[in-house]
Amino acid sequence: WLHILTEIKNRGVNDVLMLVCDGLKGLPEAVETVWPRTVVQTCVVHLLRNSFRYAARQDWDKIAKLL
């Protein structure tokens, strides 16, 4: 990831406000290295899916409404 993001920066992208990703290994760290002020956010769909792993099936609707 670091190589790819560095190449993107070298091609003219000087600033990235926000990066939304789904847990790709090493991507948040690479973004932090290349663009330190970038906010890294987990994709909302993946955030919901991961939250449901810790709850009983009957509570999924309640959790989805709260998130």
pLDDT at 53: 83
- Identify which of 39, 3, 6, 7 has the alpha carbon closest to the alpha carbon of residue 21: 39
pLDDT in tens, the chain (67 residues): 999 999 999 999 999 999 888 878 999 999 999 999 999 987 777 777 777 888 898 988 888 788 7
Number of H helices, E strands in the chain: 4, 2
| Predicted local distance difference test score (pLDDT) of residue 33 | 96
